[in-house]
Amino acid sequence: MNKFDSYREEALQKWDSQIVHSELPVIYLGTASCGIAAGALDVLETIQQTLTELGQPARIIQVGCIGPCYLEPIMDIAMPGGPRVSYTNVTPQKAKKILQANLAEGDMASKMAKGHFGDDSFSVRTGIPKFFDLPMLKPQVRVILKNCGFIDPEDGDHYLAQDGYLGFLKVLEAGPGYALEALKESGLRGRGGAGFPAFKKWELARNAQGEQKYVVCNADEGDPGAFMNRALIESDPHAVLEGLLIAGYTVGASQGIIYVRAEYPLAVKRLKKAIAQMRSYGLLGENILGSEFSFDISIKEGAGAFVCGEETALIASLEGKRGMPRPRPPFPSDSGYNGCPTLINNTETFGTVPAIMRNGGEWYQQFGTPGNYGTKTFSLVGKVRNTGLIEVPLGTPLRQVVEEIGGGTELAFKAVQTGGPLGGCLGASQLDTPITYESMRDQGSIMGSGGLIVMDESTCIVDMARYFIGFALRESCGNCTPCRIGTRVLIDRLEKIIRGEGEAHDLDVMRAAADTMVKTSLCGLGQAASNPVSSSLNFFLSEYESHVHDSYCQAGVCKGLFQYVISAERCNGCGVCVKACSSNAIQGKLKELHTLDVNLCTQCHACVEVCTKHAIIGVPLPAETDHLVLSEALQ
């Protein structure tokens, strides 16, 4: 115990001298995958160059994702004695200007600042709002994401300085019974999507018969558009590892395995580093901290299969077998990896555990609502203005997430897809639904792992359904009849409708296939795969009917089912669309209303994407149009 205490002491001192009371300016830069994708590495180079040019020493801390990805690259500066000030959408040129101002001219460049992490008086003095008061962040509650964007994920000492591993120490002292009680009281439900009470799973694993037990962290995160687990691992890997360690101790496992998808190389790298750090702190190996508890963690990378996010398929993959789900019972807690009792939870579930152990189960109840305690991270993407990683208490109304945090949509809101490709979409009339496991299900969707994809009037619901069913079709393991063939039937009919050949009967065929899939599939993938179709048929039937009966795609997406026209009210004659069109279909003089020749138009969508005024809209074709001829012409 003493050795660890001394590491902690050192870490606290380091944090104090290097961050809190640093005598050097501290420059923070977000270099998680979102930041890197936005260009943070170029900014990093510029920072280093500028510091050399200015001859000013400063401490650069690379941090993880702080949440609002649409603001990346994010660079923060904390001058000695002052709070951390955040600058967003930083280009290399902007970075240079900001550094110059702060370091050489004593100027905070407040016009370029987005927010700060100081107190109210600083806001009054400078006019810069608190970062967490920004509309996108104000409603959020950061429990899981507490350290993300604040610590260097590759420096274990930073984690130690944030009460790191105190949760584990507490459990080690108080015993596994304490851990189970705290978990039970907290009401934490598995954050992977099914929402099964975490304490129950842990209890089952603990009580299962077997010398050898395993804990597995499911970091496969196969949902397209979901990156909650990635962001957490890249920004605060130790939170997940501490959770895994606590779980291992509680259920009596000696081996932890993190199954992380191979498409997350940065996450894998940071995990490996963090695991090595754990070892050096004496937190892994035989007789950890002088106790009877021995534990080690290994990493297994996935091989590109969405179905391996399903727990029994994941276990098959770990065993080197084909990733096919197995019938349950037996459940993994009785017979999982290599036939041994296996506790398998989502990354976020493990990431939440340390805080619960540190603060107690009752503390967690202050967030969320009865039956749905706590917070959850979501990836808010799509047509909202403010996209990124968010964390809200369960029970938050969808409307608040979309309109307040997301900043709403530019064009009229149409729907939000919740729960990933196996979820359903909820329309404007359902926006007041609070985000809980039950309410999502009652509305015909699922909570899922947390993907929220917002769509506006320029999204075709039928096309969206086709996209998601296509995903399920490719990712299904193909073993059981309803899922393998049902998804093919659905996509067959959807493509028929999108081609303009849809008939009323096709909707019934899809409903029948979906019904069979829900009721008879072997695993959750098959049971949920038809959700995008079922929920959109329920709430957006008119769009399907318009495709089928009128051969008209309202959103102007499905080729041959509309024609483009340029709106006189919206067009400002900027000419950008003329340049974008590769068929010379658009004519128009500067500042004058442009016109589009439908005979030349190939419906490639390029003009729509570049028009900032959303002036190019899809309208119904003339009644006498021969759709087959048109379709051929458009190929």
Partner 1 sequence: MSLQISIDGHSLSVEKGKTILQVARQNGIDIPTLCDLPGLASHGSCRMCIVEIQGRPNTPTACTTLVEEGMVVQTDSPNVQALRTELLKLLLSEHPSGCLICSEKSHCDDCMVTLRKTGVITGCRSCPQDGQCQLQVLADRFGLTEVGYPGRYRMLPVEKNDPFFDRDYNLCVLCGRCVRVCEENHFLSTLTMVSRGTDVIVGTAFGQTHLEAGCSFCGACVEVCPTGTLSEKTRKWDGKPEREVATTCALCSAGCQIKLLVKNDMVIGSLPDHAGESDMLCVKGRFGITELVNHPTRLEQPVVVNKDGSLPVSWEHAIETAAEKISSCAPGKYGMLISADCSNETLYIAQKFMREVARSSHLQTSSTALYGVGLQAIQRLYGLAQPLSVLREADAILCLGFDGKYAQSVVDVELHRAKRSGAKLITLNAAEHSLSKAADEWLRPDPGEEADLLEMLLESTRSGAGKQQEHLSPAAVHAGQIGRLLLESKRAVILLGPSFLTHPDNLFLLKAVERLVAQIAAQLIILPEPVNLAGAFRTGIVTPATTAGIHDLEVLHLVGETVPPHLPAEPFILYQNIYPPTRDLSSGLVLPAAAFTEEDGTFLDHSGKMRSIQRAVTAPGSALPSWEILCRIAQKLGVAGFDYENAAQIQAEFEKIDFTSADLTVSVPGLLQPGLDVFRWVQREDHAYMGFPLGTWVAGLRMLYPE
Q: Which residues bind partner 1 (CB under 8 A)?
A: 305, 307, 322, 324, 327, 329, 473-482, 484-489, 492-493, 496, 509, 512-513, 515-516, 518-522, 527
Q: 282 or 470: whose CB is closer to partner 1?
A: 470
**At closest approach, how far in Å is the CB of 520 from partner 1?**
5
Give 477 or 607: the residue with its C-beta nearer to partner 1.
477
Least separation, in Å, of the C-beta of 530 and partner 1?
Answer: 13
Closest distance of CB 50 from partner 1, Å: 50
Min dist CB 547 to partner 1, Å, is 17
CA-to-CA dists, residue 326 to 216, 321, 323, 602, angstroms:
17, 12, 9, 47
CA distance 558 to 551: 10
DSSP string, 133-161: GSTTTTT---STTTTTTTS-TT-HHHHHH
* Dist CA 605 CA 628 (whole Å): 20
Q: How far is the CB of 470 from partner 1 (least distance, A)?
A: 10
Q: Which helix (H) or strand (E) holds 75?
A: strand 75-78
Q: Which one, 42 or 501, has the nearer CB to partner 1?
A: 501
Please say which residue, 78 or 514, places its beta carbon nearer to partner 1: 514
Nearer to partner 1, 164 or 524 (CB): 524
**Do the beta carbons of residue 564 and residue 621 sit within 8 Å?**
no
Smallest gap from Cβ 494 to partner 1, in A, equals 11
Dihedral of CA 442/446/451/455: which sign? negative
- Using DSSP, state whether 625 is helix, strand or coil: coil
Select 258 or 480, whichever has its Cβ closest to partner 1: 480
User: Which residue's CB is nearer to partner 1, number 320 or number 327?
Assistant: 327
CB of 310 to partner 1, least distance (A): 13
Q: Which is nearer to partner 1, 111 or 519 (CB)?
A: 519
- Provide the minimum distance between the beta carbon of 307 and partner 1 in the complex, in angstroms, as a whole number: 7
Number of C-alpha atoms within 13 angstroms, CB side, residue 372? 19
Query: Shortest gap between Cβ of 477 and partner 1 (angstroms)?
Result: 5
| Start-to-end CA span in the chain (Å) | 71
Q: CA-to-CA distance for 536 and 444, rounded, in angstroms?
A: 9
Q: What is the Cα–Cα distance from 610 to 617, expressed in whole angstroms?
A: 13
The minimum distance between CB 201 and partner 1, in angstroms, equals 19
Contact 592, 529 (CB under 8 A): no
CB of 519 to partner 1, least distance (A): 5
Q: Which is nearer to partner 1, 454 or 514 (CB)?
A: 514
Strands 451-456 and 375-382: parallel
Query: Nearer Cβ to partner 1, position 489 or 596?
Result: 489
Q: For partner 1, give the closer residue by CB, 390 or 489.
A: 489
Instruction: Taking each helix axis as running N to C, give the angle between helix 265-280 and helix 228-235, from 0 to 180 degrees, rounded to the nearest 10.
Output: 40
Residue 564 near residue 607, CB atoms below 8 Å: yes
Distances (CA, A) of 10 to 5, 281, 296: 9, 12, 24
The Cα-based distances of 379 to 23, 81, 550 in angstroms read 37, 35, 36
AA identity, residue 483: C
Q: Where are the beta strands (DSSP E) in 14-53?
A: 26-30
Distance CA 188, CA 118 (A): 32
